[in-house]
Amino acid sequence: MKTKLSVAACACAMAVALTSSVHAKTPGSKLLATGGASTIEGAGGGGIVPWATLSSYADTGEWGATVNLSEVSVDDFRLSVKGISASWNNRIEVSYARQTFDLSTIGGELEQNIVGAKVRVVGDLVYGDLPQISVGAQHKINQSFALPSAVGALDDSDTDWYVSAAKAWLDGPFHRTWVANVTARNTRANQLGLLGFGGDDEADSRWVAEASVAMFINRYWAVGAEYRQKPDNLTFAEEQDWRDIFVAYFPSKRVSLVGAYTDLGSIAGLDNQSGWYLSVQAAF
């Protein structure tokens, strides 16, 4: 409850700060919502899948930044994420996220830091025939390796590599704008890395697939779904794929909100972990 309140307070403070700086420089020239939201690993994207889009609204020759807070609350766990990102020229994005994973039922807490970078290689989300294609890396450093080590994890840090392709259809089905993203990720992270990297069952990294689709109801509201395949490296508990359905609100280029219903499957032997996801992002 305390965390919930502090997130709400922080979101309000952000909103106030944003309103008072409305007359400052606009956040950038990219079209509304094309900076996407912030993922739980800090990169720009949906909620759980990094997209080929770059965070913030920094277009040709522009700089941009975001600050974001996310909370995932499922039956027996709670994940809090604080993140920041900077991007330049609609070309490169760097991000940092700090994850705190509260083992509400089991007791205890796991922490992880993630430093990310993403580069747009070719194409454009909105214009031209090619999709926007980006490559990225997420270097993850687990800060609480005692528990992961005890359940069979091999390393306390590692790097995920991914390639993403995203495309928007301005006039898609129902004459609505649609966005789709697919991501292939090379990873050996157990539960994002919160349970370390590699395991007694499978030591090496593998490719997993992730995908998102969203439909914009109008300029400001979108609904969509995401799917994320996961590795399964530890014998002590099965790790399952993640999915969510979300509603995103982009009232302005300054701020975005995402709410989702999420199904994280089985985590650390506790089955059917489902619940809500809430994320707020401010862009500068």
Binding site for another protein (CB under 8 A): 28-32, 59-62, 90, 124, 126-128, 169-172, 174-177, 217-219
Which tokens is 21 given?
A: 């700086």
Q: Which is nearer to another protein, 35 or 199 (CB)?
A: 35
As a whole number of angstroms, the distance between CA 226 and CA 258 comes to: 13
Smaller CB separation from another protein, 62 or 244: 62
CB of 89 to another protein, least distance (A): 9
Look up residue 187 and give its amino acid: T
Show the beta-strand stretches assigned E in 75-220. 77-88, 92-102, 109-122, 132-142, 157-169, 177-187, 206-216
Shortest reach from residue 177's CB to another protein, in Å: 6
Smallest separation (angstroms) from another protein to the CB of 29: 4
Tokens of 134: 């980006």
- Minimum CB distance to another protein smaller for 128 or for 269: 128
Nearest to another protein of 35, 116 (CB atom): 35
- CA 201 – CA 72 distance, rounded (Å): 28
Cβ proximity to another protein: between 28 and 148 the closer is: 28
Quote the least distance from Cβ 27 to another protein, whole Å: 12
**Residue 116 φ then ψ, to 5°:** -125, 155
Tokens of 156: 């306390």
CB 151 → another protein: shortest distance, Å?
A: 48
Q: Which helix (H) or strand (E) holds 258?
A: strand 255-263
